[in-house]
Structure formats: C-alpha cells, structure tokens
Amino acid sequence: MSPTQVDQAQAGFPDRVLPPVEAATLRAYAEASGDPNPIHLDEAVAKEMGLPGIIAHGMWVASVLTSHVQRSFGAGIQLSRMNYRFKGMVVLGEALTLTLRWRPDRDSSEGRAFEAQAKKPDGSVACIAQGELYRAL
C-alpha cells in the first residue's frame, strides 16, 4: 500500500450510503450472476415463501460490500479471503450503509484482517464480512 493509503487506513475508512434498493437492480444482478431464485424477483413468490416481499440476494449485498472494500483499499489490492454472514433481509426501498475498518486483532501471518458491514436504515446489520488482504501486496 502507498503511504497515503496507509494514512487513510489509520484514519478509518469513510462509510458509503447506497441508493435505495430497486427491483431493476436485482433483476440485472439476477441475470448477471445467474441466480434465478424467484424470491428476489417476484413479489407473489416471495410472499408465498413467507417473506415480507421481494428481498435482495444475499450475494448482491455481499457483492456491493466487496465493491466498497475494494474501492476503499484501491486498485491492485488482492483479497485472500472473505467470509460473509447474512444476518437480516434487505427489502426493496432500503438504503444500505457500508462500513469498513481494520481488525488488527485478527491479522494472520499471511494477511491483514478487516471487517465490513452492510447496515439497514434502522441500524441493524444485514451482512457482516470478515476478510483478509494478502500481506505482500
């Protein structure tokens, strides 16, 4: 990492607030990811399955979080591992806040550890991600 990036890292990373989740975004994601699960596309199916309505794909939430991580660290940074736990459903119209911080307590010999979260408008966590960057980079 460049000295500037290290300074930024020590100062913490700014949060990012996404626009409210739209059905069109989930349709585009479903097609691009090859995930045809109708609970993310069809209100009637989602309700039939006991959900409050269409919910965002867990991996869409994980992916926007990963985009936030990569954008915050900068191009050329190589992730070695990420673990995503899906804690709460994201419904249409909800705007996610994405956070990122270092977790030096979890550093390993191979990598630097970080934690990222996607939070719902009510402050609850939709997805928590623990990850590592390759130390050599």
Partner 1 sequence: MSDLDASLSRFSRQIGQESSLHRARLDRAAIEAFGKSISWEIPDEVPPSFLTRFRQGEFELLSRLGVELRQVLHAEQEYRWLVPLMADSQLDYRARLADVLSKGGKGGRLTFLKFDSEYLDPVTTRALAQSRTVMVIRESADGSPHSQSQGEPQ
Best CA proximity match to 103, nearest among 89, 116, 88, 87? 116
Cβ(31)–Cβ(57) under 8 Å? Answer: no
Q: Does 114 bind partner 1 (CB under 8 A)?
A: no
List the structure tokens of 79: 């992730």
Segment near partner 1 (CB under 8 A); pick from 2-10, 34-42, 101-109, 112-120: 34-42
Residue whose CB is less far from partner 1, 85 or 135 = 85
Binding site for partner 1 (CB under 8 A): 18, 25, 28-29, 31-39, 45, 48-52, 57-60, 62-64, 66-68, 70-71, 75, 78-89
